[in-house]
Amino acid sequence: MASHRRPKKPSRTRVTVLTTAAAAAVALSANAANAAPSEKLSKDQVKSKVDELYQQAEQATEKLDGAKEKQHKLQKEISTIQDNVARGQQDLNALRDGLGSMATAQYRSGGIDPSVQLFLSSNPDDYLDKASTLDQLSSQQVESLQKVQDKQRELAQQRAEATEKLKDLAATRAELGKKKDEVKGKLAEAQRILNTLTAKEKAKLAEEQERASRSSTARVDLGDTPAASNRAAAAFRAAQSQINKPYSYGTAGMATFDCSGLTSWAYGQANVSIPRTSEAQAQLGPHLSMSQLQVGDLVFFYGDLHHVGLYAGNGQVLHAPHTGAVVRYEAMGNMPFQFGVRV
């Protein structure tokens, strides 16, 4: 007679193993089906990707420059506050010494006034708020206690301000580290892509870059556009003296520059202080159209204003372009112009 026993169910562990194996097999087969064979990028494709990464690195560089400037400003403000607190503490000690001398004199003449004795053992705020105590103090004592109270409040406010600025400084330093890592990451990725080129392709790309730099300085026609002002002319001449200096992120001369480093340095040579970052420089004055530009005006590019240069005349900008390039002239039509600003 045939057996009607049900087949034994597989164990939970066996089901789990089989299910996992099946899922892995499906995933592997899907990956194999979707994986496209790796294709070597052409030289032009590499250049396009690298240029994009350089733009991203410059965006991060402007944020890095901003964090550096903020850090420097906070450090100066904190130092000033700490100096003020130190001097204020000396003044407070002198005021307290004066009260102590007053108490000593009172004791020698027949005992310390109860209100002064009370003050010397506690906080003057507790007594100045009580009318009964004020009645017991001489006008000189009231004035001395009021000065102590005012100085204590001033010092407390300054210490609280310093504490907040120290917190801000710590956050700024953390941001600085992140932006440095971001810039380095973009440049490392650009280098990795460049390394996929053959030696011959790399040499050709370098030759093209060198040719672009030479042609921009040797044959550029700046026309006869006048300078916006004497200081704009002086800033432009200073920038011209740095032609062929290499771009390097986060620097503002004398050996290397980034874009806003060049413009801020150039105006500094004309004894005009302007902010360090392109975004801040863009806020210096009304916006100018292309037709309104004169030599030495600041000119800004890209929607987020992460690139800046000096107008050179005849549709040319003098700027520090990006990593791998040098300070040079370039046609403004090569970048998305936004507006100009006259300093």
Q: What is the CA radius of gyration of the chain?
A: 35
Bridge partners of residue 340, in order along the sequence: 288, 299
Indicate the SS3 state at residue 330: strand
Considering 4, 72, 259, 322, which one is annotated as catalytic?
259
Annotated catalytic residue 4: no
In our burial notation (b when 16+ CB lie closer than 10 A, e otherwise), range 151-181 reads: bbeebeebeeebeebeeebeebeebbeebbe
User: Within a 10 A sphere around the Cβ of 138, how many other Cβ atoms?
Assistant: 13
Annotated catalytic residue 287: no
Q: Return the DSSP state at 282.
A: T
The type of residue at 185 is G
Annotated catalytic residue 307: yes
Q: How far is CA 2 from CA 6, 7, 8, 9, in A?
A: 12, 13, 17, 20
Considering 4, 287, 307, 322, which one is annotated as catalytic?
307
> What is the spatial distance between Cα 248 and Cα 255, in angstroms, rounded to a whole number?
9
Considering 72, 287, 319, 322, which one is annotated as catalytic?
319
Maximum alpha-carbon separation in the chain: 129
Q: Which two tokens stand for residue 142?
A: 């009231």
Output phi, psi for 132, to 5 deg. Answer: -60, -35
Q: Which two tokens stand for residue 139?
A: 């006008």
Q: Which two tokens stand for residue 198?
A: 């053959």
Catalytic machinery residues: 259, 307, 319
